[in-house]
Chain A
Amino acid sequence: MSCKTNKIIDSASLYKNGLLIDSINVSFDVVICNSVDIKIISNIICCKKTKIKRINFVVENIGDNDIRNGFLKVYITSNNLRLSREFEIFKIESKCKNNVYIDVPFNCCFNYQVGAEVEVDGEIIKEKNSLI
């Protein structure tokens, strides 16, 4: 669970004949708590014909709040190679799951360092790493 207090500034504007004649702001603080769980599912098969394998990431919003402007990054590294996929404006409703994947063109017998992280409002609220 990650909670953050956000200062929100809301403005209103008044126009006459299409011209702005006045505007005003009001500010207030909003506490938003987010909680996510990440599962990494690998189906590594030492395939001989194809070297492409798929790593699945299941991100579940286990909190009560929708995440509508998150950032999800998933990656996999093996030796000096690194693959990553990034998802900006990552949306996931409360109590819902979202699935993403990486296709891995590495030799299937390598060890993989697999990871994922979810960021909301510039703060990493969940990260998970796994050695496959």
Chain B
Amino acid sequence: MNETISNTGELYNGSSMNTILQTASTSFEIANNNAITMSKTINKPGELYFVNDLIVFTITITNNTNSNIIGLFFRDVIDSVIGPISGDNYSVNTTSGIITNSTNPISISGIDINPNEVVTITITGRIVGR
């Protein structure tokens, strides 16, 4: 459960604060550790990769709350054994956010996730020698 914080403002007549004219309240939630979960998988789990094989990482980011989560930033430092696909660029796709860097390290900014929805990121590289 997220923690709900309430905040109330009070309006008084004069500085003596004897008479309240109006009050107004608002509340907001503070995310707990389980608000967002992330998973990362590969396309050939349990199998060996050889040089020139393509490797595909699939990363899912799940919003486990009933509120919108906006403005997340994703970063992935690719091991040197995995080379780019085209020039210095890896193949990167995302269902939310802007790919700000498709070279190593890969970064995606502005990831927004609707309540109880999932954002999926895929990264494809090619196995190279050490």
A positions within 8 Å CB-CB of B: 5-6, 8-18, 21-26, 28-34, 63-70, 94, 120-121
Q: Which of B49, B50, B59, B129 has the largest number of chain A CB atoms within 10 A?
A: B129
Contact of A29 among B49, B51, B76, B129 (CB under 8 A): B49
B positions within 8 Å CB-CB of A: 36-42, 44-45, 48-51, 55, 57, 59, 61, 69, 71-82, 127-130
Contact of A22 among B37, B57, B71 (CB under 8 A): B37
Question: Which 9 A/B pairs are nearest by Cβ-Cβ distance?
Answer: A65-B129, A15-B73, A12-B76, A26-B40, A66-B129, A30-B49, A22-B38, A24-B40, A13-B75
> Are B38 and A68 in touch, CB under 8 angstroms?
no
SS class of chain A's interface: helix, strand, loop or mixed? strand
What are 8 A-B pairs at a CB distance below 8 A?
A12-B75, A14-B36, A26-B42, A28-B44, A28-B45, A65-B129, A68-B128, A120-B130
Contacts of A33 in B (CB 8 A): 51
A-B contacts at CB below 8 angstroms, number: 102
Contact of B48 among A5, A63, A65, A121 (CB under 8 A): A5
> Are B40 and A14 in touch, CB under 8 angstroms?
no
Given A8-B79, A22-B37, A24-B39, are A34 and B129 also a contact pair (CB < 8 Å)? yes
